Amino acid sequence: MTMTLVETITLTSSAASIEFTSIPQDGTDLVLLVSLRNSAGNSIHYLELNGDTTSGNYVSRMLTGNGANVYSYTLNKNMLLTTYSPDTANTFGNQAIYLPNYADSSSYQSISLDASNENNGTYVTGNAITAGVWNNNAAVTSIKLQSQDNWVAGSSASLYKITKAA
């Protein structure tokens, strides 16, 4: 297997989204590694594929914990976990997003997310794993990391494609 960097986007100013368009269709899987910080104290962030904003087309199950409690949620979006403005200054939450068989248009698209927030304050903001599906059998050609507020400058995302060895 070969993992090849497709593109890295690093924000130089705040923005409501980070988007990868024209994703090459010659890979097997996609891996998106992100480092995000949000400008708000509490906001919703999610993943959109191919510009599809219909929440009913995404179904996921998130298991999250904050050091004291564990929670499980069924979601109608693939939620992103991030570090917020009240968290320790200049820290960013990290996340790995995996999309297997992304160029296959014969079945719905699976999505898995593994995330960790960063906060050295008096509370822990959390870690999460999420398994989801996009109820669409189109090949993935674009990915958007969307926020209700803004990702701060310095937030970044790197998209990699994985190809099978010949």
Q: Write down the pLDDT at residue 64.
A: 81
Q: Write down the pLDDT at residue 84.
A: 57
For residue range 44-65, list pLDDT tens digits in order.
778 899 999 888 898 888 888 7
Q: Write down the pLDDT at residue 46.
A: 82
- Given a cut of 50, the residues of the chain with pLDDT beneath it are none
Q: Write down the pLDDT at residue 81.
A: 62
Q: Write down the pLDDT at residue 79.
A: 66
DSSP characters over 31-86:
EEEEEEBBSSSS--EEEEETT---GGGEEEEEEEE-SS-EEEEEESSEEPP-B-TT
Q: Write down the pLDDT at residue 40.
A: 75
pTM over 0.85: yes
